[in-house]
A = this chain, B = another copy of it.
Amino acid sequence: MANQQTALDIVFHALADPTRRAVIGRLLQGAAPVTRLAEPFTMGLPAFLKHLTVLETSGLIRSEKQGRVRTCRIDADRLAAAEGWLAEQRAIWQGRTDRLAAFVESQNSQEKAS
C-alpha cells in the first residue's frame, strides 16, 4: 500500500508538466532516440534530460543505450495505474450521485403517494 502510494506520488508528479506529457504522447506512437524527442522543444538539452530523468524515475518510460544512441520507450503499466486510481475515485463519486438520485426519486414518489 505504502509502495503503491509512493508510485502514484511520482507518477502524478511526472505527469504535472506539459513537456513530460508531450514526451509521453510522442512515445505512445513508438520508441524514439533522445535527440529526436528533444527536437520539438526550445529548451536546452540539459533541461530536457532532467525531464526524461523524472519520467524514467517514475517508471513511465524506460531507456536503453546502444553505441552512442539512447532510445526511450513507454511503459504503459504506470499510466494504467494512475488511470486506475482516478477510475476508482469516479466509481465512488458515481455511486454516491446514483444513491442521491435514487433517494430524491423515492422522496418524490412518497410525496406523490401521500
Taking the closest CB of chain B, its distance from the CB of A53, in whole angstroms, is 16
When the two chains form their complex, are residues B93 and A74 in contact, meaning their CB atoms are under 8 A apart? yes
Chain A interface mostly helix, strand, loop or mixed? helix
Known: A28-B92, A87-B83. A16 touches B21 (CB 8 A): no
Q: How many copies does the complex hold?
A: 2
A8 — which chain B residues lie within 8 A by C-beta? 15-16, 18, 21
Across-interface contacts of A5 in B (CB, < 8 A):
18, 21
| Nearest neighbor of A76 in chain B, beta-carbon distance | B93
How many Å lie between the Cα of A37 and that of B10 in the bound state?
24
Given A79-B86, A83-B87, are A93 and B9 neighbors across the interface (CB < 8 Å)? no
